[in-house]
Amino acid sequence: MDPLLSSTDRPSGVPECRSRSGLDADELCDSISLSAAALRQLAGASFLVTGATGWFGTWLLDFLCAADDVLGLGIRIAAVSREPEDFLSRFEGFRGEERISWIRSDVRQLNVRSQGYSHVIHAAAASSEKGGDLSPRQQFDTIIEGTRRAIACAGGSCKSLLLLSSGAVYGPAAPGAARFMDGHSGGPDPSLPRNVYAEGKRAAEQLCAIAAGEGTPVRIARCFAFVGPHMPFDRHFAIGNFIADAVRGRPIRIRSDGSPQRSYLYMSDLMRALVLILVDGTIGRTYNVGSDVGLTIKELAERVNLVVGGRGVVLDGDVSDPGNRYVPDTTRLANELKFVPAVPLDTAIARTAAWYRAQLSRPMPS
């Protein structure tokens, strides 16, 4: 850890970490400390961040602004959102933030003439829950056209374009495979409309591969499953549903036999991994991002119940597909970029539950 950034015994004159979205300041400072060397490579950077008001985007804005507070990077951020005012009404800490200029736009209509960014982070539709009320056709078009626009916005001065893709591009797990290896050649079935998100991400990666071949410095993060503040607690994220049940004093109900396998990385570790890929990743390369420590959904529910202090776990579902596994192999990220997760799963669960509990006690939870 960078001694100048330690959350204790901070030297006089070194700015404090400050969260603009309600994150724990010491946790934020610790993750910035671990990323200091990579973050310093972003001195003077001008960012374009799409999906800036989503779950990942909120963390990215907070992480980058706090890093600039402490390291004096002198960065600028153009943040893309359809409704920035809604975001600012939820997170007043960002209001008046001089580093951030807002671009009010659907990513599909993003002005391709807005070039001149040194770094582009295309985080729009970072998870499949972003489909929301969109039809499958609209969701597919949003992923594809948004990626085209992000690439066009990179321009000739771009040093790095980071696409946040998904582990969904791999499709079903191969029989007997415990993890998805980087470069696994499988894929989802394109004849099934339910695979629109995964197929959209595959096509977005193809667009980026073409752009890399034409000289755009593209890197790709294939993101798996995560846990942390600002995550949805009422969507299809199993760990979010489990934490919400436990915090609210309900039994954790599993809508299957509990055998599907998952793994979860804490959001501050995700930020660290993304910064490493952005500045040190090999151009044109894909990197699995997530935890490689898998556990069954039943084991996950039991962990949440134990850590949070819930009212037990109830299995209420049919036998699951034995191939229902979603765990990445992260050897490439570890070997090439020396990434090591810093937050154990139990700590991640406890932090997320504490944050969620605090939101419930507020008049307008975020």
Of 80-84, 171-175, 203-207, 308-312, the one with minimum mean pLDDT is 171-175
Global confidence as pTM: 0.93
Task: For 149-165, give the DSSP string.
Answer: HHHHHH-TT-SEEEEEE
Residue 34 — left, alpha, or beta (φ > 0 → left; ψ -120 to 50 → alpha)?
alpha
Q: Give CA–CA dist 253/103, Å, rounded.
A: 41
Does the pLDDT of residue 14 top 80, yes or no? Answer: no
- Residue 266 tokens, joined: 């804490």
Q: Is the dihedral of CA 205, 107, 56, 305 positive or negative?
A: negative
When pLDDT is cut at 50, 70 and 90, the band that residue 7 belongs to is very low
Q: What is the pLDDT of residues 140-160, one digit of tens each?
A: 999 999 999 999 999 888 999
Task: For 309-356, give the DSSP string.
Answer: I-S-EEE-SPPPPTT-EE-B--HHHHHHH-----S-HHHHHHHHHHHH
DSSP bridge partners of 127: none
Does the pLDDT of residue 130 top 80, yes or no? Answer: no
Q: What is the pLDDT of residue 24?
A: 95
Q: Give CA–CA dist 268/229, Å, rounded.
A: 10
Q: What is the pLDDT of residue 363?
A: 65
Residue 322, phi then psi, degrees to nearest 5 = -65, -15
348 Cβ contact list (under 8 Å, min separation 6): 227, 228, 264, 265, 266
Of residues 186 and 248, which shows the higher confidence score?
Answer: 248
Q: Give CA–CA dist 82/103, Å, rounded.
A: 8
Q: What is the pLDDT of residues 75-107, one digit of tens each?
A: 999 999 999 999 999 999 999 999 999 999 999
66 Cβ contact list (under 8 Å, min separation 6): 17, 18, 19, 20, 28, 29, 32
Task: Count CA atoms within 13 Å of residue 152 on its CB side.
Answer: 14
Q: What is the pLDDT of residue 364?
A: 52
Of the candidates 98, 91, 124, the one whose C-alpha atom is nearest the C-alpha of residue 110 is 124
Q: What is the pLDDT of residue 115?
A: 65
- Residue 197 tokens, joined: 């998100």
Does the pLDDT of residue 257 top 50, yes or no? Answer: yes
- The full set of domains in the chain, from first to last, is 3-224+264-290+327-343 (3.40.50.720)
When pLDDT is cut at 50, 70 and 90, the band that residue 129 belongs to is very low
Q: What is the mean pLDDT of the chain?
A: 91
Does the pLDDT of residue 4 top 80, yes or no? Answer: no
- Residue 323 tokens, joined: 């191939």
Q: What is the pLDDT of residues 267-303, one digit of tens each?
A: 999 999 999 999 999 999 999 999 999 999 999 999 9
When pLDDT is cut at 50, 70 and 90, the band that residue 114 belongs to is low
Q: What is the pLDDT of residue 116?
A: 82
Burial pattern 41-68, b for ≥16 Cβ within 10 A else e, equals ebeebbbbbbbbbbbbbbbbbbbbbbbb
* 229 residue type, one letter: P
Averaged pLDDT for residues 190-199: 95
Averaged pLDDT for residues 24-51: 97
Q: What is the pLDDT of residues 159-189, one digit of tens each?
A: 999 999 999 999 999 888 889 999 788 899 9
Residue with tokens 């044109």: 284
Helix (H, G, I), strand (E, B) or coil at 95: coil
87 Cβ contact list (under 8 Å, min separation 6): 52, 53, 58, 81, 94
Q: What is the pLDDT of residues 39-63, one digit of tens each?
A: 999 999 999 999 999 999 999 999 9
